[in-house]
Amino acid sequence: MAVSSLLNIAGGRASTVLLVMKRMLLLILIAGICEPTEVVFGQAAAEDNGTVIGRAAGPAIEAAVEDVNSDPAILPGTRLSLISQNTNCSGFLGTVEVMQLMGNDVVAVIGPQSSGIAHIISHVVNELHVPLLSFAATDPTLSSLQYPYFLRTAQNDYFQMHAIADLVTYFGWREVIAIFVDDDYGRSGISVLSDALAMKRAKISYKAALTTGASTSQISDLLLGVNQMESRVYVVHVNPDSGLSLFSIARSLQMMTTGYVWIATDWLPSVLDALDPVDTDKMNLLQGVVALRHHTPDSDLKKTFMSKWSSLNRKNRTGDSEFNSYALYAYDTVWLAARALDVFPE
């Protein structure tokens, strides 16, 4: 995926990250390093092997750093260095890890995967004037207006929620039930969906919130509750690491049959892309579910990167997890930061 396509994904805000990079590099220049020979990037993310997004993004980030360092046309005489810290999916630990990254004179932080942690870390990087580039924090309320050192390098959930509202309107449905994870990512996304539906004279008749890491019995109780309601149109906006269990339980409750409509946000395609080989049982479970997928334009760079994916997995010992869109976003995030640094002297 070419960097130019990422600039479009970033909403035309590449100038923002360039300005932020200039500010940080200016501090380095003032310190007496006129031509830095090493630029350090920090990575704040959950452990690579622990999440669907992490297994895709971890190898991609390391590959991007290697590719930048091997390209003589960008940052000549300067080498990128990557330092990784594990946020453990915790806002408190994420803040501690970012503070440790700051002690290594990083010029940019890549991550985190979680919108909730991004909210917390953004306060830290704002005070320290270090740019935070997140390829997976899709909460629409994360804004550069509030967090001037935050830059999102993926689509935020505003767009897919409006697409769902269009889909609901097209089929003439007037009410939906929202099933979502009860965190910043889930609540903000469903809030946007509610506004988008209202513009179409439709509405969310009930909001069913699931706690992070909800047990089987909790999911079952929630589904039994929504099954008693009039609407049979469900929008599922949950985390990719636990979302499939919801459909498994729904099937056991006979809620995946004719008369029910299930719409999943982009978390589901990310999970399905990670299945290698394809799990026929899971695919059969999801028959009839409509899901939204990130659109990433085809390009020669994208094809080349996908062809290297197997070797990247072996090198990073991440198993045989399949390529998904977050790998592209993570890869392009490194390149975006590198190009911003490269044009700074100009």
DSSP 30-71: HTT-SS-SEEEEEEEES-GGGSHHHHHHHHHHHHHHHHHHH-
Model's pTM, two decimal places? 0.82
DSSP string, 181-203: ESSHHHHHHHHHHHHHHHHTT-E
300-321 pLDDT, tens digit per residue, is 888 888 888 777 766 655 555 5
pLDDT number for residue 28: 30
Name the burial class of residue 6, with classes exposed (0-12), middle (13-18) and buried (19+) by CB atoms within 10 angstroms of its CB: buried
Alpha carbon separation from 330 to 24, 65, 152, 230 (Å, rounded) = 21, 11, 11, 42
Give the Cα separation of 70 and 67 in Å (integer). Answer: 5
Alpha carbon separation from 153 to 16, 83, 135, 213, 346 (Å, rounded) = 12, 20, 5, 27, 24
Mean pLDDT within 210-215: 90
pLDDT number for residue 278: 75
Alpha carbon separation from 307 to 3, 209, 218, 300, 323 (Å, rounded) = 18, 40, 41, 11, 10
Mean pLDDT within 203-221: 94
56-107 pLDDT, tens digit per residue, is 888 888 889 999 999 989 888 888 888 776 666 655 565 666 666 666 677 8
Mean pLDDT within 331-343: 90
* Model confidence at 206: pLDDT above 90: yes
Residue 98 parent element (H or E): helix 91-102
Give the Cα separation of 276 and 271 in Å (integer). Answer: 11
Residue 271 corresponds to which tokens in the numbers above? 């999970």
Helix, strand, coil percentages for the chain (3-state, nearest 5): 50, 15, 35
- Residue 323: DSSP 8-state: P
Predicted confidence band of residue 246 (pLDDT cuts 50, 70, 90): very high
Top pLDDT among 114 and 334 is at 334
Give the Cα separation of 86 and 44 in Å (integer). Answer: 6
Domains of the chain, CATH where assigned: 3-155+296-342 (3.40.50.2300), 157-291 (3.40.50.2300)
Q: Where would I find the beta strands (DSSP E) of the chain?
A: 38-45, 79-86, 108-110, 132-134, 150-152, 175-181, 203-210, 233-237, 261-264, 290-291
* Model confidence at 229: pLDDT above 80: yes
Q: By mean pLDDT, which of 17-26, 119-128, 175-184, 252-261 is the weakest?
A: 17-26
148-183 pLDDT, tens digit per residue, is 999 999 989 999 999 999 999 999 999 999 999 999
